[in-house]
Amino acid sequence: MKRLIQTILTALLATAGVTSLGHAQTMPVPSPPALSAPSYILMDHESGNVLAERNADEQREPASLVKLMTAYVAFSELKSDHLSLDDTATISETAWRMGGSRMFIEVGKRIRVEDLLRGMIIQSGNDASVALAEHIAGNEETFAQLMNQYAERIGMHNTHYVNATGWPDPAQVTTARDIAKLARAMIRDFPEYYQYYSERDFTFNDITQQNRNMLLFRDSTVDGLKTGHTSGAGYNLVSSAKRDGMRLVSAVMGTDSPRDRADQSQALLNYGFRFFRTFRLYDGEEALATPRLWKGGSDSLPVGLGGNLYVTIPERQYDNLDASMQVREPVVAPIGKGEKLGELIVTLNGEEIAREDLIALEDGGEGGFFGRMFDEFMLLFQ
C-alpha cells in the first residue's frame, strides 16, 4: 500500500508539479518526556529528523563516547583493506598502563585487532583503545588527528578529539547532536561491524566483563551503542533501537547514575516509536520528472534525487504531506549527470519538513547543428 501511494504521489508530481494527499484525522502528539539530563537528543536514523532535544549543541565532556570515533576510524581502515581483523598489534607499555576501564591486555603481547575492538566496544577498555590507535597511526596523538578529520567529514562541527579513550582533557568536547550524527554514520557506513555493539559480554584472558549498556539487557530492540562516564562528564549513553523497520538514535549526556542514563534513554526511544513514523517517499535515481531538453540529442532529460528521501512525521499524518517540484526552465544542453536542475519541497500541514536538490539522472548531450538551431529559434517564443 505504501508503494502504491508513493507511485501515485510520484505520478502526480511529474504531471502537475504539486501534490496534496488530502487531510486525515490526526493523532495528538504530546511533548517529549520531561528528563533531568542536562543535554539530550532523539533522532531518526534514516531521515535525520530530530524528534526531541534539549541543549543538544552544548559542548560537554564525552568520556568513553570518544571510543565511538576510535571504532569508526578502525572500521574505516578495515573497509579500505588497510587493516584486517586478524592483524595483531603489539601492546605497548603506554597502552598497558592505561587506567580506568580495561580489557587487561599485557605489555609485549601480540593481540588480534578483532579482540581489541571487542575489548574496546564491549568492555570499554582504555588499554584496547590506545593499542588500536598506536597500531593504526603509530601514536595516539596522530590518531587523534584522524579522529578530527573524520569528525569534520561527518559534520560534527562542535566536537574536538584529543585522545582515543575519552580520558579527561579540557580540550576534548562533543555535543549530543554530534554524537547522534556519529552513531548514524556508524550504523550506515559499517553494518558489517555494527553487530559488536549488541554483544552483552566478552571474555579475554579468562576474564568475562559485561557490556555497560543496560538497555541491551532490558529491551530486545536495542542493539547499541556506547556508555561513558567520568566524574566531570556524568553518565552518558548513546543508544539505538529498531522496531517495525524504524530505527531511532538517542544521546543522553550528564545524568547522575547508570540507571538514570538507561531510564532516560528508554523514555526517549519509547516516545519516538509511539508517536512518530518514518517513510521513504522517493528512491534515489528514480525519475520524478522528464522536462524538455532544449538543443539536446534527446527530447527530454530524467530528473530525480541523488539518494533516497525519508521523512519522520507524527503518527497518522502521512495523508497530510504535500510535495512540490521547482524545475529550472529552460533546461538547455549540455547538461552533466548530477547537475542541479531544481528542488523538491515536502511540507506537512503547510510547514516545510524537507528540501532536496533535483539533479539530472543522466548526461544531456548536445544535439546536431540543425536541431540546435531549430531549438534556438523556438526558445525565442518561450
CB 293 within 8 A of CB 301: yes
Q: How far apart are CA 180 and CA 54, in angstroms?
A: 13
Among residues 67, 181, 226, 295, which one is catalytic? 67
Q: How far apart are CA 59 and CA 158, in angstroms?
A: 7
- Please enumerate in sequence order all residues whose Cβ is within 8 A of that of 1, keeping only pairs 6 or more positions apart, or say none: none
Among residues 39, 64, 129, 250, which one is catalytic? 64
Cα first-last separation, the chain: 40
- Please enumerate in sequence order all residues whose Cβ is within 8 A of that of 64, keeping only pairs 6 or more positions apart, or say none: 101, 124, 165, 166, 226, 227, 228, 229, 236
Q: How far apart are CA 235 and CA 199, in angstroms?
A: 20
- Give me 113's grid cell: 585487532
Among residues 39, 47, 101, 124, which one is catalytic? 124
CA-nearest of 282, 271, 66 to 173 is 66
Report the DSSP beta bridge partners of residue 322: 20, 347
67 flagged as catalytic: yes
226 flagged as catalytic: no
124 flagged as catalytic: yes
CA-nearest of 320, 270, 315 to 32 is 270
SS3 content of the chain, % helix, strand, coil (to 5): 35, 30, 35
Q: How far apart are CA 382 and CA 294, in angstroms?
A: 11
Structural element, H or E, at residue 94 = helix 93-96
By annotation, the residues acting in catalysis are: 64, 67, 124
